[in-house]
Copies of this chain bind each other. A is one copy, B any other.
Amino acid sequence: MRNMTHYRCTLCSNVYPYDGHTFTCPKCGELGILEIEFAYAQIGKNMTRESLIANRDLSMWRYGPLLPVDTSRSGEMLKIGWTPLYEARRLPELLNVKKLFIKDESHNPSGSTKDRASGLAVLNAIEQGMNTIACSSTGNAASSLACHAARMGLTSVIFVPKRAPVGKLTQLSMYGAHVMMVDGDYKAAYQLSKEAIKKHGWYNRNAAINPILVEGKKTVAMEIAEQLDFRPTDWVAISVGDGCSLAGVYKGFYDFKQLGLIKKIPRLLGVQSSGCAPFVTAWKDNKPLQETEENTIADSIAVGIPRNPIKAMRSIASSNGAFIAVSDEAILEGMKLLGHYEGIFAEPAGATALSGLIKALEEGVIKHNESVTVIVTGNGLKDPKNAQKTGRPPTLVPPNLAEVDKYLKENGVK
Residues of A that sit less than 8 Å from B by CB: 58, 76, 78-79, 84, 86, 89-90, 104, 107, 109-111, 131-132, 146-153, 155, 157, 160, 162, 166-167, 169-184, 188-189, 191-192, 195-196, 199-200, 335-336, 339-345, 379-382, 384, 387-388, 390-401, 404-405, 407-408, 411, 413-414
Contact = CB atoms under 8 A, between A and B. Distances in A.
Contact of A343 (B58, B151, B411): B151
A172 B387 CA distance: 11
Given A107-B107, A111-B381, A173-B387, A413 B132 contact: yes
A98 to B, nearest CB: 18
A213 to B, nearest CB: 18
Nearest to A411: B178
A90 B151 CA distance: 8
A189 B160 CA distance: 41
Contacts of A381: 111, 167, 170-171, 379, 381-382
B109 A89 contact: no
Contacts of A132: 413-414
Contacts of A340: 150, 174-176
Contacts of A384: 166-167, 170, 384
A399 B159 CA distance: 10
B180 A343 contact: no
Given A86-B78, A380-B170, A398 B183 contact: yes
Nearest to A400: B192
Contacts of A401: 192, 195-196, 199
A380 to B, nearest CB: 6
Protomer copies: 2
A84 B86 CA distance: 19
A160 B341 CA distance: 22
6 contacts: A174-B336, A175-B340, A178-B392, A192-B399, A192-B404, A200-B414
Given A155-B413, A339-B174, A340-B176, A182 B399 contact: yes
Given A162-B396, A381-B381, 20 more contacts: A76-B89, A78-B86, A79-B107, A89-B151, A111-B379, A111-B381, A132-B413, A150-B339, A150-B340, A151-B342, A170-B384, A170-B391, A173-B393, A178-B407, A178-B408, A178-B413, A183-B396, A196-B404, A200-B414, A379-B381
A84 B89 contact: no
A160 B394 contact: yes
Contacts of A180: 394-395, 397, 404, 407
Nearest to A102: B78
Contacts of A404: 180, 192, 196
A77 to B, nearest CB: 9
A170 to B, nearest CB: 4
Nearest to A342: B151
A90 B176 CA distance: 14
A369 to B, nearest CB: 23
B392 A183 contact: no
A140 to B, nearest CB: 12
A379 B162 CA distance: 25
B392 A181 contact: no
Contacts of A407: 178, 180
Contacts of A382: 381
Nearest to A86: B78
Contact of A387 (B110, B170, B183, B390): B170
